[in-house]
Amino acid sequence: MRFALMIEPQQGTTYADQLAVAKHAEAGGFETLFRSDHYSSFPGPDDNPTTDAWACLAGLARDTTRIGLGTLVSPVTFRLPGNLAKVAATVDEMSGGRLEFGLGAGWNEIEHARYGFPFPPIADRADMLEEQLTILRGLWEEPDGWGFEGRQYRIEDGLFRAKPVPRAEPRLEGRKGGIRLIVGGDGTPRSMRIAARLADEFNLSSGGPERVADRTKKLDETCRAAGRDPRSLARSAMVGALVGRDDAEVGSRTRELMNVLGNGANNDAWLAERRKRWIIGTPDQARAMVGRFADAGIERIMLQDFLPWDLDMIDLMAEELVGRV
């Protein structure tokens, strides 16, 4: 199993906090550090300070040396595709070819309203996702003069400089050697069709091993229907992680997570539901859960860390999971 670390900086982490996470993840052997792309603060208090994902990735590109970097995922509603293509290519060049890029349809309607982002119906956002992926591919990979006419966007006489640089690490490589594109979601039929046509990797979220196994089978069928070898589309899962050296440490971190989320009455129910699909427990219990995801067809796990200030847990997960499962 391959491992990435995923953090939710909208919980109130500064750039310095994120850099500390990146340094520990890099030293621990995680292949990529992903961060969410949100401006509103959640889960927990909604007034924590937040940062811009791409500004932070640009800084991390210069302040780290080996680890891959990326968003998981950027909503298509936040940025126009030409701007997004340029920003991503710039961060990629700054990192020496370490960028991976997850793109999604977006979901948090309250966040969109607070920041003035349009929030069209999901059918339109799915169109935007498909067209933005097409435009990223076209601007990065197609010859000069490439054009595109869609329902949402139009490109005339495309001319993109500079193209994404060669990959620093082959496992981060996308189609034609460029930036690896990841489509994320819970496995709707349309998201699978979009991924089968345009993505290098499909990332499943919010699902336990049984649900993931069902979705990976459907993804195989979708790829075959699209004329694509299913083995050419990588499969990953974003999975919440809460790991301790022993039961006492797991209990302490569980209590800390409850404090981070706030003391609302629904927190116990929130965590109880996630125990069915998260990697929670001691190292042996964590490795057993990872094995269940591997049996479900997952090649890479993004460990979703809601306690990013707890650098010791990052070190522990690196020691006990990376290279050991």
pLDDT tens string for the chain (325 positions)?
999 999 999 999 999 999 999 999 999 999 999 999 999 999 888 999 999 999 999 999 999 999 999 999 999 999 999 999 999 999 999 999 999 999 999 999 999 999 999 999 999 999 999 999 999 999 999 999 999 999 999 999 999 999 998 888 888 999 888 999 999 888 899 999 999 999 999 999 989 999 999 999 999 999 999 999 999 999 999 999 999 999 999 999 999 998 888 755 567 787 888 889 999 999 999 999 999 999 999 999 999 999 999 999 999 999 999 999 8
The boundaries of the domain holding residue 267 are: 2-320
Q: Is 321 left (phi over 0), alpha (psi -120 to 50) or beta?
A: alpha
Going from the C-alpha of 30 to that of each of 58, 68, 96, 186, 320, the distances in angstroms are: 19, 9, 17, 24, 12
pLDDT at 263: 57
210 DSSP 8-state letter: H
DSSP assignment of 97-140, as one string? S-EEEEEE----HHHHHHHT-----HHHHHHHHHHHHHHHHHHH
Helix (H, G, I), strand (E, B) or coil at 245: coil
Task: For residue 146, list its beta bridge partners.
Answer: 158
- Whole-number Å distance between alpha carbons of 193 and 3: 26
Q: Is residue 132 part of a domain?
A: yes
What sign does the dihedral 261-262-266-267 (CA atoms) show?
positive
pLDDT at 269: 80
213 DSSP 8-state letter: H
Q: Cβ atoms within 10 A of the Cβ of 140, count?
A: 21
Residues 6+ apart with CB under 8 A from 102: 34, 70, 71, 72, 73, 74, 181, 182, 183, 184, 203
Q: In the chain, what's the furthest Cα-to-Cα distance?
A: 62
User: What is the count of structural domains for the chain?
Assistant: 1
Going from the C-alpha of 82 to that of each of 130, 161, 190, the distances in angstroms are: 14, 12, 23
- Whole-number Å distance between alpha carbons of 69 and 302: 12
Judged on CB neighbours under 10 Å (0-12, 13-18, 19+), 283 is middle
Q: Is residue 154 part of a domain?
A: yes
Report residue 274 as tokens. 């996630």
H runs (alpha helix) in 142-281: 189-198, 209-225, 247-261, 267-274
Q: Is residue 218 part of a domain?
A: yes
pTM of the model: 0.96
Q: Is residue 93 part of a domain?
A: yes
The CATH number of residue 30's host domain is: 3.20.20.30
Q: Is residue 325 part of a domain?
A: no
